[in-house]
Chain A
Amino acid sequence: MTAIAGLLALALHLALMLLAAPLLIGLIRLIKARMTGRVGPPLLQPFRDLARVLRKQPVVADGTSWLFRAAPIVLLTTTLAAAALIPSFALGMATASASDLLVIAGLLAVGRATLALAAMDTGTAFGGIGASREMTFSVFAEPAFFLVVFTMALLAGTSNLDAIATLVAAGNLGLRISMALALVASLVIALVECGRIPADNPAAHLELTMVHEAMALEYSGRYLAMVELAGALRLLLWMSLIGAIFAPFGITPSGSVAPWLWALGIAAWAAKTALMATALALFETLRAKLRVFRVPEMLGMALLLGLLAAIFLFVSQGFA
């Protein structure tokens, strides 16, 4: 029974993630437009964009290898696999036992590395600049994220996301300074990993400041659709991840098949995601993009916060 419940929850979860990802992008764009006094595109515009580029035949840059054409598939595959590991509305999905935080980080790293390689493959200056900057950011983001994992693994005794979320949802950990510090660190990391302001500007299309867009510059047609969908999915995935670790309120407990509990879980997840989207839109409207070399400094701050989170934990708990 639990196995079937897990599979059902996983299927519903993946369908919701894939549907909600473009919606999330549309929502953020709409809120940002309204805040800057514009009418903005309709909420469903990202779906139409995806359908439009999917129908077009792609143009591939001369001299690129098979890797350039395979990269969008690998990127979307790994992002989708990572999404399958992160609980959104229900715990105890069929993939729960594999949902190790390091594996999730690794899968996202595969996608990042593949896109960087594809950008290098175009043999253009823009591709190179995007790849170089993306990899540089990752050098500083990974230690910070690992410290967050470290803190949560110390609290929960395992680096398995499902187990951590179960413990936090049960309220066994209480409110802790460490978790607050780790939350701030994760927010900074998520902003950088998803290519949002202040690390990168998702709306930039012809500037030397762009990072993620520079890597995706040569893609068109179905390849562009996959890269765009993977980007949207990554943003939703990070929001779900932060929600699952730090605010698993209303999430359906493991093994439950009661429809009203699922409905509650989905509603809670939607509310959390919408809240985070609003906060992100507000933040992006108010803040300017940082200079490229200030981003490592910002990530260094996240790293220090992560370190402080772990040290607070040692001091308060006295692990021995």
Chain B
Amino acid sequence: MALVTALLLALGPVAWAVGGRLAAWGTLGLCGLGSLIILIFLLAGAPPQTLSVPFGLAGQPSALALDGVSAWFMLLLMLVGAAASAAMLDEAAWPTSPAMPVFVGAMALTLLAGDAFALVAGFELMSLASFILVLTDHRSETTQAAARLYLGMAALSAFCLIAALALLAGHGTSFAAMRAHPPEGWRAWVVLALVLIGPGAKAGLVPLHVWLPPAHSAAPAPVSALMSGAMTKVAIYVLIRLLFDLAGPAQPLWWAGPLLVMGIASAVLGSFRANMEGDIKAVLACSTVENIGLITLALGLAMAARAADISALASLAMAAALLHILGHGLFKSLMFLGSGSVLHHAGSRSLERLGGLMQRMPITGACMLLGAACLAGLPPSAGFASEWLLFQSVLASVRLGGLGLQILVCVLAATLALATALAACAAIRLIGVALLGRPRSAGAAEAMEAGPPMRWALLLTSLAVVSIGLFPGAVLGLAEPALGLLSNAGMSNRAGILLITPVAEQPGYPPVAVLALLGLAGAAIAAVLRARAATGYRTGPAWDCGFGAAFADPRGQYGGGSFAQPLRRVLGPALMDAHDSLDMPAPGDTRAAIYAVHMEDPAVAYLFRPVAASRAWLSTQADLMQFLTVRQILVVMASALVLFLAFVALVEQL
């Protein structure tokens, strides 16, 4: 695996030198090979591997390690990497960037890291490579703005991650040394906060999720797929590694609090914003925020159950998190690749310019429909299986603590259901407006099906998604080592090939049986129809209550804005400060009336704008320094020196 990673990293410069499609072909080959190695590793139940490599901090080797947890994420990374690079082969649609293999390789390095140095190196290389990839279309103003915001967030992540690792690495930078000396007292607080801000921002947790929609919209579709499907999960991996593994075997109960709160906030805000965005890739990015929220929520429950020493519940919640990580990584990649195909062949990302693509792009359409069913959490899809596990762990977690916690769990349950229902609404809106109905622009009316590489990427990813949906228990079997490491208990007695249950020996969710039931019911209906009903059909203009002529313009259909209007009116004021304004000219005035909708993400309104404003204020204040006289400047310098010396003396004293 280390070899595959090294080759991926090396492929970047080589592909840059050679040019052409080498980067995409090479990534595809290496990711395919990597998936095979990881599958064999997981199926064989091999023990954790470690490797020392001669690159590290001055004079020291650096350690690489592969255990159950990193192998699970590596499997996802390799599958998504293969799908994205296969789609990248569609040369006409995207320029093949040499940063692509470096991006995948850097993520692999992060997952393989066995000490702080390798982890930071991989994480930073990953940020850098993805920054270059976001800038692919660097001539556009919006892309530049998105990339700047992304770089700022990446710098914040890096700062927090390095600081957190420094606090953990008091007795050596290797993971083993950190594990042996878990943080205590104020260090634990600070580590938790730094991890939630650093890798949390990279994963897209509220309130640091603002970079996702612009960055995902700006990047080419395979890159968005990698960022959403794999990179946010790598950030979650770092979060799990630091909080669940390196911070010691048990944490106090309150550690779960921030995870639960940030998780549920991300889930609700992300899924609501997904209903409001008008750009299909921004919709998908917001839905990523929601799903990261669900994963974090499950992690929070696992953390709480670990603190209460209920390993059965901890493993249930952890299984929900891991299954959702794999499932979401794959079906979100599927959706992003599909959206790229739509963008390239129908010429727009805007919901208001699409429509009617299901007939013209049947394969892309069907694959996106499958992805949307997963996003909406409909049985028997992959999304339903993991959300079912998550709901079951929420149900079981009332036994964790006193009345206060129980009421919190109860509210959590309702909010979680709200978030998943909002996600379903967003998925229906996305498919209904973008792929169904009548085309809203000439580009959409003349759309063609995607080329063979993209079709294969979509179909194979769909196959993986379907198999996770139908055999979640078997897939969880692969996560058994990870579950053992993270929650001291497995799911082997509760996750079989045909059934997953929250408690052993109890009824649960049998996906194959549900599918069989649906198949039988469908067959019975088809038989009755064949025997009794009239055959064939005629086509004619839509009836539309006789209003067909009045709404003949395709823009008379429901669009993205109108579909979400009831939700915006009911939930918008509370969640995103939504309000309408009407600028009506006076009678006789010939200018146009303007009806506008105003909405703002609370994170922008209450966090980013105040921070930006205070930065501007600080720089204005600092500007005053330039106008000081020579004497005043000397006074400032001298006092700064005195203060610094005093500080040093004070620190020496302590």
Contact = CB atoms under 8 A, between A and B. Distances in A.
Q: Are these two chains actual partners, yes or no? A: yes
B537 to A, nearest CB: 5
A193 interface: no
Interface stretch (B407-415, B604-612, B624-632): B407-415
A158 B421 contact: no
Interface in A130-171: 131-133, 135-136, 138-147, 150, 153-154, 158-160, 162-163
Contacts of B569: 293
B544 A217 contact: yes
A123 interface: yes
Interface in B53-104: none
B543 A125 contact: no
Interface in A80-118: 80-81, 84-85, 95-100, 102-103, 106-107, 109-110, 113, 116-117
Among the interface residues B521, B557, B567, which one has the most CB atoms of the partner chain A within 10 A? B521
Contacts of B365: 65
A124 B557 contact: yes
Contacts of B509: 98, 100, 102-103
B646 interface: no
Among the interface residues A102, A139, A162, A319, which one has the most CB atoms of the partner chain B within 10 A? A139
B428 A150 contact: no
A98 B558 contact: no
B570 A293 contact: yes
A21 to B, nearest CB: 14
Contacts of B570: 136, 140, 293, 296
A135 B425 contact: yes
Given A98-B507, A292-B566, A315 B403 contact: yes
A124 B542 contact: yes
A310 interface: yes
Contacts of A318: 403
B384 interface: yes
Contacts of B526: 73
Given A61-B540, A62-B541, A154-B395, A293 B507 contact: no
Contact of B410 (A84, A125, A140, A307): A307
A61 B416 CA distance: 38
B544 A124 contact: yes
A228 interface: no
B158 to A, nearest CB: 38
Given A57-B536, A131-B428, A126 B545 contact: yes
A116 B543 contact: no
A297 B524 CA distance: 40
Interface string B322-361: 0000000000000000000000000000000001101100
B513 A293 contact: no
B637 interface: no
Given A62-B542, A106-B384, A138-B421, A120 B567 contact: no
Contacts of B398: 154, 314, 319
Interface in B499-526: 502-503, 506-510, 513-514, 517-518, 521-522, 524-526
Interface stretch (A30-38, A218-226, A266-274): A218-226
Contact of A116 (B402, B413, B432): B432
Given A61-B539, A97-B507, A107-B379, A80 B436 contact: no
A42 interface: no
Contacts of A67: 358, 369, 436
Nearest to B378: A110
Interface string B394-406: 0100110111001
Contacts of A106: 377-379, 384, 388
B391 interface: yes
B548 interface: yes
A194 interface: no
B558 A129 contact: yes
B428 A143 contact: no
Nearest to A146: B417
Contacts, number: 277
A158 B507 contact: yes
**Interface size range of chain B in the complex:** 35 or more
B409 to A, nearest CB: 9
B651 to A, nearest CB: 48
A250 to B, nearest CB: 24
A247 interface: no
A209 interface: no
A159 B392 contact: yes
B643 interface: no
Contacts of A142: 417-418, 420-421
B186 interface: no
Interface stretch (B134-142, B228-236, B527-535): B527-535
A66 interface: yes
Among the interface residues A56, A67, A96, A218, which one has the most CB atoms of the partner chain B within 10 A? A67
Interface string A186-207: 0000000000000000000010
B534 A56 contact: yes
Contact of A110 (B379, B388, B508): B379
Interface in B169-204: none
Given A98-B510, A163-B507, A218-B543, A136 B537 contact: no
B414 A57 contact: no
A127 interface: yes
Among the interface residues B373, B427, B437, which one has the most CB atoms of the partner chain A within 10 A? B437
A199 to B, nearest CB: 13
A131 B432 contact: yes
Given A61-B539, A110-B378, A307-B414, A222 B556 contact: no
Contact of A77 (B427, B521, B547): B521
Interface of B: 355-356, 358-359, 362, 365, 369, 373, 376-379, 384, 388, 391-392, 395, 398-399, 401-403, 406-407, 410-411, 413-418, 420-422, 424-425, 427-429, 431-433, 436-438, 502-503, 506-510, 513-514, 517-518, 521-522, 524-526, 529, 532-545, 547-548, 551, 554, 556-558, 562-567, 569-571
Given A99-B507, A160-B506, 15 more contacts: A59-B538, A60-B538, A66-B359, A98-B507, A103-B514, A109-B376, A120-B563, A132-B558, A135-B563, A136-B566, A139-B425, A142-B421, A159-B392, A217-B545, A314-B406
28 contacts: A57-B536, A60-B538, A62-B540, A62-B542, A67-B358, A77-B525, A84-B517, A98-B513, A98-B517, A99-B507, A100-B507, A106-B379, A113-B373, A113-B428, A120-B432, A124-B557, A128-B432, A133-B566, A135-B425, A135-B428, A139-B418, A140-B570, A142-B421, A146-B417, A206-B545, A226-B525, A307-B414, A320-B399
